[in-house]
Amino acid sequence: MAAHPTLPSPVSTSLLLLLLLLLSCCYELCAAATVSYDHRAVVIDGKRRVLLSGSIHYPRSTPEMWPDLIQKSKDGGLDVIETYVFWNLHEPVQGQYDFGGRKDLVKFIKTVAAAGLYVHLRIGPYVCAEWNYGGFPVWLHFIPQIKFRIDNDPFKKEMQKFTTKIVDMMKKEKLFASQGGPIILSQIENEYGNVEKYYGPTAKSYIDWAASMATSLNVSVPWVMCQQDNAPDPIINTCNGFYCDNFKPNSEKKPKMWTENWSGWFLSFGGGVPYRPVEDLAFAVARFFQRGGTFQNYYMYHGGTNFGRTSGGPFISTSYDYDAPIDEYGLVRQPKWGHLRDLHKVIKQCEEALVATDPTYTSLGKNLEAHVYKTASGRCAAFLANIDDHSDATITFNGKPYHLPAWSVSILPDCQNVAFNTAKINSQTTVLEMKYTKTYDQAADESTDSSEISESEWKFFSEPIGSINSTAFKNVGLLEQINTTADTSDYLWYSISIDVKGNEPFLFNGTQTTLHVDSLGHVLRVFVNGKLSASKQGSNADASFKLENVITLASGQNRIDLLSATVGLKNYGQFFDLTGAGITGVILKNHNATRDLSSSQWTYQIGLKGEKLALHDNTQNSTWMTLSSLPRNQPLTWYMTYFDAPKDGDPVAIDFTGMGKGEAWVNGHSIGRYWPTYTAPPNGCVKSCDYRGQFSGSKCVKNCGQPSQSLYHVPRSLIQQGKKNRLVLFEEVGGDPTLVSFALRKAGSLCAHVSQSHPPPVDAVNTAQRKDAVLHLECPHSDHVISSVKFASFGTPHGTCRSYSHGNCSSTTALAILQQACIGVRSCDVKVSTEVFGDPCRDVVKSLAVEASCSSNEVG
* Catalytic residue ranges: 191, 260
Say how far apart CA 224 and CA 186 lie, in whole Å. 6
Instruction: Fill in the per-residue mask, 131 to 170: x = in contact with ligand GAL (CB under 6 A), - = not in contact.
Output: ----------------------------------------
Distances (CA, A) of 193 to 114, 122, 203, 241: 35, 16, 9, 13
Output the smallest distance, CB 191 to ligand GAL, in A.
5
Nearer of residues 130 and 452 to ligand GAL, judged by Cβ = 130
**Of 5-13, 124-132, 427-435, 652-660, which segment contacts ligand GAL by CB under 6 A?**
124-132
By the 8 A CB rule, do 120 and 82 touch? yes
Nearer of residues 305 and 535 to ligand GAL, judged by Cβ = 305
Output the smallest distance, CB 132 to ligand GAL, in A.
12
Nearer of residues 128 and 733 to ligand GAL, judged by Cβ = 128
By the 8 A CB rule, do 748 and 820 touch? no
By the 8 A CB rule, do 725 and 422 touch? no
**Of 73-81, 121-129, 588-596, 639-647, which segment contacts ligand GAL by CB under 6 A?**
121-129
Pick the closest to residue 266 from 232, 334, 317 (CA basis).
317
SS3 string, 398-464, reads: CCEEEEECCCEEEEECCCCCCCEECCCCCCCEEEEEEEEECCCCCCCCCCCCCCECCHHHCEEEECC
Listing DSSP states for 179-202 in one string gives GTSSEEEEEES-SGGGTGGGGTTH
Question: Which residue has the closest beta carbon to ligand GAL?
Answer: 128
Binding to ligand GAL in span 265-284, by CB under 6 A: 266
By the 8 A CB rule, do 795 and 811 touch? yes
Instruction: Give residues with Cβ within 8 angstroms of 622, minimum separation 6.
Output: none
Output the smallest distance, CB 620 to ligand GAL, in A.
41
Q: 175: how many CB neighbours lie within 10 A of its CB?
A: 23
Output the smallest distance, CB 229 to ligand GAL, in A.
15
Nearer of residues 570 and 609 to ligand GAL, judged by Cβ = 570
Pick the closest to residue 259 from 43, 514, 81, 511 (CA basis).
81
Listing DSSP states for 657-720 in one string gives BTB-SEEEEETTEEEEEE-TT-BPPSS---SS----S---TTTT-B-TTSBS--EEEE-GGGSP
Of 88, 190, 263, 539, the residue at the interface with ligand GAL (CB under 6 A) is 190
Reduced to 3 states (helix: H, G, I; strand: E, B; else coil), residue 67 is: helix
Binding to ligand GAL in span 229-258, by CB under 6 A: 240
**Of 125-133, 634-642, 809-817, 826-834, which segment contacts ligand GAL by CB under 6 A?**
125-133
Output the smallest distance, CB 572 to ligand GAL, in A.
6
Nearer of residues 236 and 347 to ligand GAL, judged by Cβ = 236
Nearer of residues 259 and 467 to ligand GAL, judged by Cβ = 259
Instruction: Give residues with Cβ within 8 angstroms of 526, minimum separation 6.
Output: 515, 517, 532, 533, 534, 535, 547, 549, 551, 560, 561, 562
Say how far apart CA 287 and CA 293 lie, in whole Å. 9
Reduced to 3 states (helix: H, G, I; strand: E, B; else coil), residue 774 is: strand
Say how far apart CA 199 and CA 472 lie, in whole Å. 38
Of 79, 130, 323, 452, the residue at the interface with ligand GAL (CB under 6 A) is 130
Instruction: Give residues with Cβ within 8 angstroms of 372, minimum separation 6.
Output: 359, 360, 362, 380, 381, 382, 383, 415
**Of 61-69, 127-135, 247-255, 562-570, which segment contacts ligand GAL by CB under 6 A?**
127-135
Size of the site for ligand GAL (CB under 6 A): 9
Say how far apart CA 274 and CA 703 lie, in whole Å. 9
**Of 107-115, 128-136, 444-452, 498-506, which segment contacts ligand GAL by CB under 6 A?**
128-136
Nearer of residues 261 and 810 to ligand GAL, judged by Cβ = 261
Binding to ligand GAL in span 454-493, by CB under 6 A: none
Strand segments, DSSP code E, in 484-635 are 491-500, 512-519, 523-528, 531-537, 545-552, 556-565, 583-589, 594-596, 601-606
Nearer of residues 190 and 437 to ligand GAL, judged by Cβ = 190
Instruction: Fill in the per-residue mask, 569 to 608: x = in contact with ligand GAL (CB under 6 A), - = not in contact.
Output: ----------------------------------------
Q: 551: how many CB neighbours lie within 10 A of its CB?
A: 18
Of 112, 117, 128, 588, the residue at the interface with ligand GAL (CB under 6 A) is 128
Say how far apart CA 258 and CA 244 lie, in whole Å. 7
Nearer of residues 227 and 738 to ligand GAL, judged by Cβ = 227
By the 8 A CB rule, do 455 and 627 touch? no
**Of 123-131, 211-219, 501-509, 655-663, which segment contacts ligand GAL by CB under 6 A?**
123-131
Output the smallest distance, CB 843 to ligand GAL, in A.
48
**Of 122-130, 506-514, 750-758, 788-796, which segment contacts ligand GAL by CB under 6 A?**
122-130
Nearer of residues 459 and 570 to ligand GAL, judged by Cβ = 570
Q: 826: how many CB neighbours lie within 10 A of its CB?
A: 16
> Which amino acid makes up residue 547?
L
Output the smallest distance, CB 238 to ligand GAL, in A.
11
Output the smallest distance, CB 84 to ligand GAL, in A.
7
Output the smallest distance, CB 571 to ligand GAL, in A.
7
Nearer of residues 127 and 777 to ligand GAL, judged by Cβ = 127
**Of 65-73, 126-134, 383-391, 404-412, which segment contacts ligand GAL by CB under 6 A?**
126-134
Output the smallest distance, CB 541 to ligand GAL, in A.
14
Query: How would you class 833 by CB atoms within 10 Å of its CB: exposed for 0-12, middle for 13-18, buried for 19 or more?
Result: middle
Q: Is the peptide bond before 522 cis (omega within 30 degrees of 0)?
A: yes
Binding to ligand GAL in span 306-325, by CB under 6 A: none
Nearer of residues 83 and 439 to ligand GAL, judged by Cβ = 83
Q: Rule CB under 6 A: say whether 260 interacts with ligand GAL.
A: yes
Output the smallest distance, CB 281 to ligand GAL, in A.
14
Output the smallest distance, CB 265 to ligand GAL, in A.
7
Interior angle at CA 847, CA 841 and CA 852, nearest 5 = 125
Torsion sign, CA atoms 311, 617, 329, 454? negative
Pick the closest to residue 118 from 74, 62, 170 (CA basis).
74
Output the smallest distance, CB 269 to ligand GAL, in A.
16
Say how far apart CA 65 and CA 61 lie, in whole Å. 6
Nearer of residues 266 and 493 to ligand GAL, judged by Cβ = 266
Q: Which residues pair with 668 in a beta bridge?
A: none
The footprint of ligand GAL (CB under 6 A) covers 127-130, 190-191, 240, 260, 266
